[in-house]
Chain A
Amino acid sequence: MTEARREFPVLTTFVVGGALLYAFSRLHHALAPFVLAAAFAYVLNPIVSYFEARGLRRSQLVVFGYVAAAALAFVAYAGLKSMILSETELFQERAPAYLSQLQKTAYAQQTLLTKKLPLPPKVAERALESAIGGALEVLQDLPAHVLTLLPLLAHALLVPFIGFFFLLDAPDGVEGGIQMCPSRYVEQAIHLLSEVDTVLGNYLRGLIIVVTVIFIVSFLGLLALGIDNALIIAAISGVSSVVPYFGLAMGILVGGAMAVYQFGTLVAAAKVALLFVGIRLLEEMLIQPIIARHSLHMHAMTNLFALIVGGATFGFLGLVFAVPAAGIIKALVSVTWSWYSSERGLTLGAADGVGVPYT
Protein backbone atom coordinates (compact mmCIF):
# COMPACT_ATOMS: atom_id res chain seq x y z
CA MET A 1 0.00 0.00 0.00
CA THR A 2 2.82 2.39 0.80
CA GLU A 3 4.90 4.02 -1.84
CA ALA A 4 8.51 5.12 -1.45
CA ARG A 5 9.17 8.85 -1.64
CA ARG A 6 10.32 9.96 -5.06
CA GLU A 7 11.47 13.38 -6.10
CA PHE A 8 9.64 15.16 -8.86
CA PRO A 9 11.33 14.43 -12.21
CA VAL A 10 12.52 17.99 -12.81
CA LEU A 11 15.10 17.00 -15.45
CA THR A 12 12.55 14.94 -17.40
CA THR A 13 10.08 17.83 -17.23
CA PHE A 14 12.66 20.24 -18.67
CA VAL A 15 13.72 17.78 -21.40
CA VAL A 16 10.08 17.18 -22.43
CA GLY A 17 9.41 20.94 -22.24
CA GLY A 18 12.44 21.65 -24.43
CA ALA A 19 11.36 19.03 -26.98
CA LEU A 20 7.85 20.54 -27.09
CA LEU A 21 9.31 24.02 -27.56
CA TYR A 22 11.45 22.76 -30.44
CA ALA A 23 8.44 21.05 -32.04
CA PHE A 24 6.47 24.27 -31.62
CA SER A 25 9.21 26.33 -33.29
CA ARG A 26 9.09 23.96 -36.30
CA LEU A 27 5.29 24.00 -36.55
CA HIS A 28 4.48 27.51 -35.36
CA HIS A 29 2.89 28.61 -38.66
CA ALA A 30 0.38 25.76 -38.54
CA LEU A 31 -0.18 26.19 -34.82
CA ALA A 32 -0.67 29.98 -35.00
CA PRO A 33 -4.51 29.91 -35.18
CA PHE A 34 -4.63 27.46 -32.28
CA VAL A 35 -2.31 29.61 -30.15
CA LEU A 36 -4.36 32.72 -30.96
CA ALA A 37 -7.60 30.84 -30.27
CA ALA A 38 -6.25 29.60 -26.94
CA ALA A 39 -5.33 33.20 -26.01
CA PHE A 40 -8.76 34.39 -27.18
CA ALA A 41 -10.53 31.74 -25.07
CA TYR A 42 -8.27 32.44 -22.12
CA VAL A 43 -9.14 36.14 -22.18
CA LEU A 44 -12.88 35.42 -22.34
CA ASN A 45 -12.84 32.58 -19.82
CA PRO A 46 -13.17 34.76 -16.69
CA ILE A 47 -16.50 36.10 -18.03
CA VAL A 48 -17.79 32.54 -18.54
CA SER A 49 -16.43 31.48 -15.13
CA TYR A 50 -18.16 34.44 -13.46
CA PHE A 51 -21.58 33.22 -14.60
CA GLU A 52 -20.61 29.57 -14.16
CA ALA A 53 -19.94 30.28 -10.47
CA ARG A 54 -23.60 31.27 -10.28
CA GLY A 55 -24.55 27.73 -11.26
CA LEU A 56 -25.12 28.21 -15.00
CA ARG A 57 -24.09 25.60 -17.57
CA ARG A 58 -20.89 26.40 -19.45
CA SER A 59 -22.15 25.08 -22.80
CA GLN A 60 -25.26 27.28 -22.74
CA LEU A 61 -23.24 30.27 -21.53
CA VAL A 62 -20.72 29.95 -24.37
CA VAL A 63 -23.41 29.57 -27.06
CA PHE A 64 -25.44 32.42 -25.58
CA GLY A 65 -22.29 34.56 -25.28
CA TYR A 66 -21.34 33.99 -28.93
CA VAL A 67 -24.85 34.86 -30.14
CA ALA A 68 -24.91 37.98 -27.94
CA ALA A 69 -21.42 39.05 -29.07
CA ALA A 70 -22.37 38.59 -32.73
CA ALA A 71 -25.52 40.67 -32.22
CA LEU A 72 -23.55 43.35 -30.36
CA ALA A 73 -20.87 43.45 -33.07
CA PHE A 74 -23.58 43.80 -35.72
CA VAL A 75 -25.27 46.65 -33.86
CA ALA A 76 -21.92 48.37 -33.20
CA TYR A 77 -20.95 48.00 -36.86
CA ALA A 78 -24.32 49.33 -37.98
CA GLY A 79 -23.93 52.31 -35.65
CA LEU A 80 -20.32 53.09 -36.54
CA LYS A 81 -20.54 51.91 -40.16
CA SER A 82 -20.60 55.39 -41.71
CA MET A 83 -17.70 56.58 -39.56
CA ILE A 84 -15.58 53.47 -40.27
CA LEU A 85 -16.33 53.57 -44.01
CA SER A 86 -15.62 57.29 -44.37
CA GLU A 87 -12.33 56.96 -42.45
CA THR A 88 -11.27 53.96 -44.56
CA GLU A 89 -12.22 55.67 -47.84
CA LEU A 90 -10.41 58.85 -46.80
CA PHE A 91 -7.31 56.85 -45.92
CA GLN A 92 -7.42 54.88 -49.18
CA GLU A 93 -7.89 58.04 -51.27
CA ARG A 94 -5.11 59.96 -49.64
CA ALA A 95 -2.59 57.16 -49.06
CA PRO A 96 -0.52 57.75 -52.28
CA ALA A 97 -0.53 61.49 -51.68
CA TYR A 98 0.63 61.04 -48.08
CA LEU A 99 4.02 59.68 -49.09
CA SER A 100 4.77 62.27 -51.80
CA GLN A 101 3.76 65.10 -49.45
CA LEU A 102 5.93 63.57 -46.79
CA GLN A 103 8.88 63.37 -49.17
CA LYS A 104 8.39 67.01 -50.23
CA THR A 105 8.26 68.18 -46.61
CA ALA A 106 11.26 66.07 -45.69
CA TYR A 107 13.39 67.55 -48.49
CA ALA A 108 12.19 71.09 -47.73
CA GLN A 109 13.20 70.61 -44.11
CA GLN A 110 16.47 69.09 -45.28
CA THR A 111 17.35 72.22 -47.28
CA LEU A 112 16.41 74.43 -44.34
CA LEU A 113 18.43 72.37 -41.87
CA THR A 114 21.48 72.23 -44.18
CA LYS A 115 21.64 76.02 -44.03
CA LYS A 116 21.16 76.18 -40.29
CA LEU A 117 23.50 73.36 -39.18
CA PRO A 118 26.93 74.57 -37.99
CA LEU A 119 28.65 72.16 -40.40
CA PRO A 120 30.23 72.50 -43.86
CA PRO A 121 27.24 72.49 -46.29
CA LYS A 122 28.27 69.29 -48.09
CA VAL A 123 28.80 67.33 -44.86
CA ALA A 124 25.46 68.52 -43.44
CA GLU A 125 23.69 67.71 -46.72
CA ARG A 126 25.11 64.19 -46.83
CA ALA A 127 24.29 63.51 -43.16
CA LEU A 128 20.72 64.75 -43.53
CA GLU A 129 20.23 62.87 -46.80
CA SER A 130 21.29 59.68 -45.14
CA ALA A 131 19.08 60.24 -42.05
CA ILE A 132 15.94 61.42 -43.89
CA GLY A 133 16.41 58.92 -46.72
CA GLY A 134 16.65 56.11 -44.18
CA ALA A 135 13.48 57.25 -42.41
CA LEU A 136 11.61 57.50 -45.72
CA GLU A 137 12.78 54.01 -46.70
CA VAL A 138 11.38 52.69 -43.43
CA LEU A 139 8.08 54.45 -44.15
CA GLN A 140 7.99 53.08 -47.70
CA ASP A 141 8.59 49.57 -46.37
CA LEU A 142 5.86 49.96 -43.73
CA PRO A 143 3.01 48.70 -45.99
CA ALA A 144 5.11 45.60 -46.78
CA HIS A 145 5.57 44.95 -43.06
CA VAL A 146 1.84 45.44 -42.48
CA LEU A 147 1.12 43.01 -45.33
CA THR A 148 3.07 40.29 -43.49
CA LEU A 149 0.36 40.54 -40.82
CA LEU A 150 -2.37 39.69 -43.35
CA PRO A 151 -2.09 35.91 -42.82
CA LEU A 152 -2.93 36.61 -39.18
CA LEU A 153 -6.03 38.55 -40.27
CA ALA A 154 -7.01 35.49 -42.30
CA HIS A 155 -7.47 33.77 -38.94
CA ALA A 156 -10.10 36.36 -37.98
CA LEU A 157 -12.90 33.81 -38.43
CA LEU A 158 -10.89 30.71 -37.58
CA VAL A 159 -9.75 32.01 -34.19
CA PRO A 160 -13.26 32.57 -32.71
CA PHE A 161 -14.34 29.22 -34.21
CA ILE A 162 -11.50 27.26 -32.55
CA GLY A 163 -11.83 29.48 -29.48
CA PHE A 164 -15.45 28.36 -29.15
CA PHE A 165 -14.30 24.78 -28.57
CA PHE A 166 -11.52 25.86 -26.23
CA LEU A 167 -14.04 27.82 -24.16
CA LEU A 168 -16.47 24.93 -24.17
CA ASP A 169 -14.12 22.07 -23.32
CA ALA A 170 -11.01 23.57 -21.67
CA PRO A 171 -12.14 22.91 -18.05
CA ASP A 172 -12.97 19.28 -18.91
CA GLY A 173 -9.57 19.03 -20.59
CA VAL A 174 -7.83 20.32 -17.45
CA GLU A 175 -9.79 17.92 -15.22
CA GLY A 176 -9.01 15.08 -17.68
CA GLY A 177 -5.32 15.97 -17.49
CA ILE A 178 -5.44 15.93 -13.67
CA GLN A 179 -7.20 12.53 -13.79
CA MET A 180 -4.48 11.14 -16.10
CA CYS A 181 -1.64 12.59 -14.03
CA PRO A 182 0.00 10.00 -11.70
CA SER A 183 -1.72 10.43 -8.33
CA ARG A 184 1.52 11.30 -6.52
CA TYR A 185 2.07 14.32 -8.79
CA VAL A 186 -1.45 15.74 -8.78
CA GLU A 187 -0.56 18.45 -6.25
CA GLN A 188 2.57 19.43 -8.19
CA ALA A 189 0.65 19.47 -11.47
CA ILE A 190 -2.00 21.77 -9.99
CA HIS A 191 0.76 23.92 -8.46
CA LEU A 192 2.25 24.36 -11.94
CA LEU A 193 -1.14 25.04 -13.52
CA SER A 194 -1.98 27.63 -10.86
CA GLU A 195 1.30 29.49 -11.26
CA VAL A 196 1.03 29.58 -15.07
CA ASP A 197 -2.62 30.62 -14.79
CA THR A 198 -1.72 33.46 -12.41
CA VAL A 199 1.09 34.72 -14.66
CA LEU A 200 -0.91 34.53 -17.90
CA GLY A 201 -4.10 35.87 -16.36
CA ASN A 202 -2.35 38.85 -14.77
CA TYR A 203 -0.50 39.69 -17.97
CA LEU A 204 -3.51 39.44 -20.29
CA ARG A 205 -5.84 41.39 -18.01
CA GLY A 206 -3.21 44.14 -17.67
CA LEU A 207 -2.68 44.16 -21.42
CA ILE A 208 -6.39 44.56 -22.17
CA ILE A 209 -6.55 47.58 -19.83
CA VAL A 210 -3.46 49.16 -21.46
CA VAL A 211 -4.69 48.58 -25.05
CA THR A 212 -8.15 50.00 -24.28
CA VAL A 213 -6.82 53.08 -22.48
CA ILE A 214 -4.20 53.83 -25.18
CA PHE A 215 -6.85 53.48 -27.91
CA ILE A 216 -9.35 55.82 -26.19
CA VAL A 217 -6.83 58.45 -25.00
CA SER A 218 -4.93 58.59 -28.32
CA PHE A 219 -8.24 58.83 -30.25
CA LEU A 220 -9.35 61.79 -28.10
CA GLY A 221 -5.88 63.38 -28.28
CA LEU A 222 -5.69 63.09 -32.07
CA LEU A 223 -9.19 64.52 -32.39
CA ALA A 224 -8.15 67.45 -30.20
CA LEU A 225 -5.10 68.06 -32.45
CA GLY A 226 -7.41 67.94 -35.49
CA ILE A 227 -5.60 64.98 -37.10
CA ASP A 228 -7.53 63.13 -39.84
CA ASN A 229 -8.12 59.36 -39.57
CA ALA A 230 -7.86 59.63 -35.79
CA LEU A 231 -9.83 56.39 -35.32
CA ILE A 232 -7.53 54.34 -37.57
CA ILE A 233 -4.33 55.80 -36.06
CA ALA A 234 -5.65 55.24 -32.51
CA ALA A 235 -6.64 51.67 -33.40
CA ILE A 236 -3.19 50.98 -34.91
CA SER A 237 -1.47 52.42 -31.84
CA GLY A 238 -3.78 50.60 -29.41
CA VAL A 239 -3.52 47.19 -31.08
CA SER A 240 0.26 47.60 -31.56
CA SER A 241 0.55 48.06 -27.81
CA VAL A 242 0.27 44.29 -27.40
CA VAL A 243 3.97 44.41 -28.28
CA PRO A 244 5.70 46.56 -25.63
CA TYR A 245 6.94 49.94 -27.00
CA PHE A 246 5.57 49.11 -30.48
CA GLY A 247 2.32 51.03 -29.88
CA LEU A 248 4.24 54.20 -29.02
CA ALA A 249 6.45 53.83 -32.12
CA MET A 250 3.49 53.15 -34.43
CA GLY A 251 1.50 56.06 -33.00
CA ILE A 252 4.38 58.51 -33.52
CA LEU A 253 5.22 57.13 -36.97
CA VAL A 254 1.72 56.91 -38.48
CA GLY A 255 0.24 59.86 -36.57
CA GLY A 256 3.33 62.01 -37.25
CA ALA A 257 3.27 61.16 -40.97
CA MET A 258 -0.42 62.10 -41.12
CA ALA A 259 0.24 65.40 -39.32
CA VAL A 260 3.10 66.28 -41.70
CA TYR A 261 0.87 65.50 -44.69
CA GLN A 262 -2.07 67.42 -43.30
CA PHE A 263 -0.33 70.54 -42.00
CA GLY A 264 2.92 70.46 -43.97
CA THR A 265 5.11 71.25 -40.96
CA LEU A 266 7.28 69.19 -38.64
CA VAL A 267 5.81 71.10 -35.69
CA ALA A 268 2.51 69.25 -36.19
CA ALA A 269 4.37 65.92 -36.19
CA ALA A 270 6.21 66.98 -33.04
CA LYS A 271 2.85 67.68 -31.37
CA VAL A 272 1.67 64.16 -32.26
CA ALA A 273 4.95 62.71 -31.00
CA LEU A 274 4.51 64.66 -27.76
CA LEU A 275 0.96 63.34 -27.47
CA PHE A 276 2.08 59.72 -27.74
CA VAL A 277 5.07 60.23 -25.42
CA GLY A 278 2.64 61.87 -22.98
CA ILE A 279 0.27 58.90 -23.26
CA ARG A 280 3.18 56.56 -22.61
CA LEU A 281 4.21 58.58 -19.53
CA LEU A 282 0.61 58.70 -18.29
CA GLU A 283 0.42 54.94 -18.76
CA GLU A 284 3.61 54.50 -16.71
CA MET A 285 2.47 56.90 -13.96
CA LEU A 286 -1.27 56.30 -13.70
CA ILE A 287 -2.23 52.99 -15.30
CA GLN A 288 0.75 50.82 -14.41
CA PRO A 289 0.45 51.42 -10.62
CA ILE A 290 -3.21 50.39 -10.84
CA ILE A 291 -2.38 47.23 -12.76
CA ALA A 292 0.91 46.64 -10.94
CA ARG A 293 -0.54 43.53 -9.39
CA HIS A 294 -1.27 42.36 -12.93
CA SER A 295 2.33 42.74 -14.07
CA LEU A 296 4.85 39.96 -14.45
CA HIS A 297 7.42 41.77 -12.27
CA MET A 298 10.13 41.28 -14.86
CA HIS A 299 13.11 43.53 -15.52
CA ALA A 300 12.90 45.76 -18.62
CA MET A 301 16.03 44.07 -20.01
CA THR A 302 14.38 40.65 -19.63
CA ASN A 303 11.36 41.96 -21.57
CA LEU A 304 13.62 43.33 -24.30
CA PHE A 305 15.61 40.10 -24.52
CA ALA A 306 12.38 38.08 -24.72
CA LEU A 307 11.07 40.36 -27.48
CA ILE A 308 14.25 40.03 -29.55
CA VAL A 309 14.38 36.23 -29.18
CA GLY A 310 10.59 35.88 -29.76
CA GLY A 311 10.65 38.10 -32.84
CA ALA A 312 13.70 36.37 -34.31
CA THR A 313 12.29 32.88 -33.73
CA PHE A 314 8.55 33.20 -34.36
CA GLY A 315 8.12 36.52 -36.19
CA PHE A 316 5.19 38.78 -35.29
CA LEU A 317 3.48 36.07 -33.26
CA GLY A 318 6.71 35.72 -31.29
CA LEU A 319 6.68 39.45 -30.53
CA VAL A 320 3.10 39.25 -29.22
CA PHE A 321 3.70 36.21 -27.04
CA ALA A 322 7.36 36.81 -26.08
CA VAL A 323 6.67 38.56 -22.77
CA PRO A 324 3.97 36.16 -21.47
CA ALA A 325 6.13 33.20 -22.58
CA ALA A 326 9.03 34.67 -20.59
CA GLY A 327 6.60 35.03 -17.66
CA ILE A 328 5.67 31.34 -17.96
CA ILE A 329 9.35 30.35 -18.00
CA LYS A 330 9.84 32.51 -14.90
CA ALA A 331 6.89 30.72 -13.23
CA LEU A 332 8.36 27.30 -14.17
CA VAL A 333 11.71 28.25 -12.66
CA SER A 334 9.96 29.62 -9.55
CA VAL A 335 7.90 26.42 -9.14
CA THR A 336 11.00 24.24 -9.62
CA TRP A 337 12.87 26.29 -7.00
CA SER A 338 9.89 26.09 -4.66
CA TRP A 339 9.83 22.27 -4.99
CA TYR A 340 13.58 22.00 -4.59
CA SER A 341 13.77 24.32 -1.57
CA SER A 342 10.79 22.63 0.10
CA GLU A 343 12.24 19.15 -0.50
CA ARG A 344 15.61 20.24 0.88
CA GLY A 345 14.03 22.06 3.84
CA LEU A 346 15.54 25.40 2.73
CA THR A 347 12.34 27.36 3.39
CA LEU A 348 11.49 28.85 6.73
CA GLY A 349 8.58 26.84 8.12
CA ALA A 350 7.54 28.07 11.52
CA ALA A 351 6.21 31.52 12.37
CA ASP A 352 7.71 33.76 15.07
CA GLY A 353 6.58 33.13 18.63
CA VAL A 354 6.46 29.35 18.29
CA GLY A 355 8.45 28.97 21.53
CA VAL A 356 5.75 30.68 23.62
CA PRO A 357 3.75 28.06 25.54
CA TYR A 358 0.16 27.50 24.45
CA THR A 359 -2.29 29.26 26.76
Chain B
Amino acid sequence: MPVLRSIKRWFIDPQFARKKEFLRSLDIFKDLRDRELGYLVAALHSRTYREGEVVFVEGDIGRALFVLESGAVELTRPSAGGAPAVLYKLKPGDFFGEMALLESLPRTATATATEKTHLHLLYKSKLDALLQSEPRIGVSIMRHLARLLSARLRRMNADSKPVIGKND
Protein backbone atom coordinates (compact mmCIF):
# COMPACT_ATOMS: atom_id res chain seq x y z
CA MET B 1 0.00 0.00 0.00
CA PRO B 2 1.69 3.25 -1.12
CA VAL B 3 -0.18 5.30 1.52
CA LEU B 4 1.05 3.07 4.36
CA ARG B 5 4.57 3.16 2.91
CA SER B 6 4.58 6.97 2.84
CA ILE B 7 3.19 7.12 6.41
CA LYS B 8 5.95 4.72 7.51
CA ARG B 9 8.54 6.87 5.69
CA TRP B 10 7.18 9.92 7.51
CA PHE B 11 7.68 8.20 10.86
CA ILE B 12 11.05 6.51 10.19
CA ASP B 13 14.17 8.48 11.09
CA PRO B 14 16.72 8.08 8.25
CA GLN B 15 19.64 9.28 10.39
CA PHE B 16 18.84 6.66 13.00
CA ALA B 17 18.59 3.94 10.36
CA ARG B 18 21.95 5.01 8.90
CA LYS B 19 23.65 4.85 12.32
CA LYS B 20 22.14 1.43 12.93
CA GLU B 21 23.43 0.12 9.61
CA PHE B 22 26.87 1.51 10.39
CA LEU B 23 26.95 -0.28 13.77
CA ARG B 24 25.67 -3.49 12.19
CA SER B 25 28.68 -3.45 9.86
CA LEU B 26 31.11 -3.53 12.83
CA ASP B 27 32.51 -6.80 14.11
CA ILE B 28 31.88 -5.91 17.77
CA PHE B 29 28.13 -5.39 17.24
CA LYS B 30 27.48 -7.88 14.44
CA ASP B 31 25.66 -10.42 16.69
CA LEU B 32 23.05 -7.90 17.83
CA ARG B 33 19.44 -7.96 16.67
CA ASP B 34 17.75 -4.99 15.01
CA ARG B 35 15.96 -3.86 18.19
CA GLU B 36 19.16 -4.19 20.26
CA LEU B 37 21.07 -2.10 17.74
CA GLY B 38 18.33 0.52 18.18
CA TYR B 39 18.93 0.62 21.94
CA LEU B 40 22.65 0.87 21.30
CA VAL B 41 22.24 3.81 18.88
CA ALA B 42 20.09 5.54 21.50
CA ALA B 43 22.85 5.02 24.09
CA LEU B 44 25.61 6.47 21.90
CA HIS B 45 26.81 10.08 21.95
CA SER B 46 28.36 11.56 18.82
CA ARG B 47 30.92 14.28 18.28
CA THR B 48 32.78 15.70 15.31
CA TYR B 49 36.49 16.48 15.89
CA ARG B 50 38.45 18.97 13.83
CA GLU B 51 41.84 18.07 12.33
CA GLY B 52 44.47 18.05 15.07
CA GLU B 53 41.93 17.99 17.89
CA VAL B 54 42.94 15.71 20.77
CA VAL B 55 40.40 13.03 21.67
CA PHE B 56 42.20 12.00 24.86
CA VAL B 57 45.71 12.22 26.25
CA GLU B 58 47.85 9.41 27.64
CA GLY B 59 47.25 9.31 31.40
CA ASP B 60 43.65 10.63 31.17
CA ILE B 61 41.18 8.36 32.93
CA GLY B 62 39.28 6.42 30.27
CA ARG B 63 35.52 6.16 30.55
CA ALA B 64 34.27 5.55 27.02
CA LEU B 65 34.68 3.40 23.95
CA PHE B 66 35.12 5.38 20.72
CA VAL B 67 33.84 4.16 17.36
CA LEU B 68 35.28 5.89 14.31
CA GLU B 69 32.58 6.52 11.70
CA SER B 70 34.49 8.81 9.35
CA GLY B 71 37.89 10.51 9.22
CA ALA B 72 41.10 9.24 10.83
CA VAL B 73 42.63 9.04 14.30
CA GLU B 74 46.24 8.47 15.29
CA LEU B 75 47.31 6.78 18.51
CA THR B 76 50.67 8.12 19.70
CA ARG B 77 53.02 7.75 22.64
CA PRO B 78 56.15 9.79 23.40
CA SER B 79 59.31 8.11 22.13
CA ALA B 80 62.63 8.00 24.00
CA GLY B 81 63.50 11.39 22.49
CA GLY B 82 60.17 12.89 23.63
CA ALA B 83 58.66 13.25 20.16
CA PRO B 84 55.33 11.46 19.69
CA ALA B 85 55.70 8.08 18.00
CA VAL B 86 52.71 6.83 16.05
CA LEU B 87 51.51 3.49 17.43
CA TYR B 88 48.53 2.96 15.16
CA LYS B 89 46.41 4.75 12.55
CA LEU B 90 42.70 4.11 12.88
CA LYS B 91 40.35 4.11 9.91
CA PRO B 92 36.53 4.28 9.65
CA GLY B 93 34.90 1.26 11.31
CA ASP B 94 37.70 0.87 13.88
CA PHE B 95 37.07 1.33 17.58
CA PHE B 96 39.45 2.30 20.37
CA GLY B 97 39.54 3.04 24.10
CA GLU B 98 37.60 -0.17 24.69
CA MET B 99 39.44 -1.02 27.93
CA ALA B 100 37.61 1.92 29.57
CA LEU B 101 34.46 -0.21 29.42
CA LEU B 102 36.11 -2.69 31.78
CA GLU B 103 37.97 -0.42 34.18
CA SER B 104 38.50 3.31 34.66
CA LEU B 105 42.27 3.45 34.39
CA PRO B 106 44.64 5.90 32.70
CA ARG B 107 44.77 5.79 28.89
CA THR B 108 47.99 4.24 27.59
CA ALA B 109 48.27 6.44 24.49
CA THR B 110 47.17 9.79 23.11
CA ALA B 111 44.45 9.84 20.41
CA THR B 112 44.36 12.72 17.92
CA ALA B 113 42.11 13.33 14.92
CA THR B 114 44.29 13.75 11.85
CA GLU B 115 41.43 15.02 9.70
CA LYS B 116 37.80 16.01 10.24
CA THR B 117 36.52 12.99 12.17
CA HIS B 118 33.15 11.80 13.38
CA LEU B 119 33.22 9.59 16.47
CA HIS B 120 30.53 7.76 18.43
CA LEU B 121 31.09 7.39 22.17
CA LEU B 122 29.70 4.54 24.22
CA TYR B 123 30.01 5.64 27.80
CA LYS B 124 30.72 3.02 30.50
CA SER B 125 27.66 3.76 32.64
CA LYS B 126 25.42 3.59 29.54
CA LEU B 127 26.80 0.14 28.82
CA ASP B 128 26.26 -0.82 32.48
CA ALA B 129 22.63 0.31 32.18
CA LEU B 130 22.26 -1.72 28.96
CA LEU B 131 23.76 -4.75 30.75
CA GLN B 132 20.88 -4.50 33.23
CA SER B 133 18.04 -3.80 30.81
CA GLU B 134 19.25 -5.63 27.68
CA PRO B 135 21.76 -8.27 28.84
CA ARG B 136 22.23 -9.66 25.31
CA ILE B 137 23.84 -6.39 24.19
CA GLY B 138 26.24 -6.38 27.13
CA VAL B 139 27.07 -10.06 26.75
CA SER B 140 27.80 -9.62 23.05
CA ILE B 141 30.10 -6.63 23.62
CA MET B 142 31.82 -8.23 26.62
CA ARG B 143 32.38 -11.50 24.70
CA HIS B 144 34.02 -9.55 21.91
CA LEU B 145 36.20 -7.61 24.37
CA ALA B 146 37.21 -10.85 26.11
CA ARG B 147 38.21 -12.37 22.73
CA LEU B 148 40.17 -9.23 21.91
CA LEU B 149 41.99 -9.29 25.26
CA SER B 150 42.75 -12.97 24.89
CA ALA B 151 44.16 -12.43 21.39
CA ARG B 152 46.35 -9.57 22.64
CA LEU B 153 47.64 -11.66 25.55
CA ARG B 154 48.46 -14.56 23.27
CA ARG B 155 50.36 -12.20 20.98
CA MET B 156 52.26 -10.77 23.96
CA ASN B 157 53.02 -14.28 25.20
CA ALA B 158 54.28 -15.29 21.80
CA ASP B 159 56.51 -12.19 21.66
CA SER B 160 57.98 -12.61 25.16
CA LYS B 161 59.81 -15.24 27.21
CA PRO B 162 57.78 -17.71 29.33
CA VAL B 163 56.51 -16.06 32.51
CA ILE B 164 57.28 -17.74 35.86
CA GLY B 165 54.71 -17.33 38.64
CA LYS B 166 55.68 -15.39 41.77
CA ASN B 167 55.39 -18.48 44.00
CA ASP B 168 57.64 -20.66 41.87
Contact = CB atoms under 8 A, between A and B. Distances in A.
A184 B154 CA distance: 33
A342 B63 CA distance: 11
Interface in A170-189: 174-175, 178-179, 183-184, 186-188
Nearest to B102: A351
Interface residues of A, number: 39
B123 interface: yes
A79 interface: no
A110 interface: no
Contacts of B59: 5
Nearest to A345: B106
A61 B10 CA distance: 11
Interface in A1-25: 1-5
B56 A184 contact: yes
Contacts of B123: 187, 190-191, 194
A281 to B, nearest CB: 29
Contacts, number: 114
Contacts of A195: 125
Given A175-B46, A190-B45, A2 B78 contact: yes
Chain A interface, >50% SS class: helix
B76 A1 contact: yes
A120 interface: no
B38 A55 contact: yes
A42 interface: no
A17 to B, nearest CB: 21
A178 B11 contact: no
Given A187-B64, A357-B165, A349 B103 contact: yes
A14 to B, nearest CB: 19
A191 B104 CA distance: 11
A191 B164 CA distance: 40
A1 B54 CA distance: 8
Contacts of A191: 63, 123, 125
A349 B64 CA distance: 16
A113 B58 CA distance: 78
A243 B14 CA distance: 43
Contacts of A175: 45-47
Interface in B1-26: 10-13, 16-17, 20
A55 B157 contact: no
B60 A349 contact: no
Interface in A131-184: 174-175, 178-179, 183-184
A2 B47 CA distance: 20
A52 B16 contact: yes
Contacts of A358: 153-154, 157, 163
A3 B57 contact: yes
A184 B57 CA distance: 8
A56 interface: yes
Interface string B36-55: 00110110011111001111
A82 interface: no
10 contacts: A52-B16, A57-B13, A58-B13, A60-B10, A183-B53, A187-B60, A190-B45, A198-B125, A338-B104, A357-B164
Given A2-B76, A357-B163, 11 more contacts: A52-B42, A55-B17, A55-B20, A55-B38, A175-B45, A183-B54, A184-B56, A187-B64, A187-B123, A190-B123, A342-B105
Interface of A: 1-5, 49, 52-58, 60-61, 174-175, 178-179, 183-184, 186-188, 190-191, 194-195, 198, 338-339, 342-343, 347, 349, 355-358
The 6 closest A-B pairs by CB, nearest first: A53-B38, A342-B61, A194-B125, A57-B13, A53-B42, A3-B54
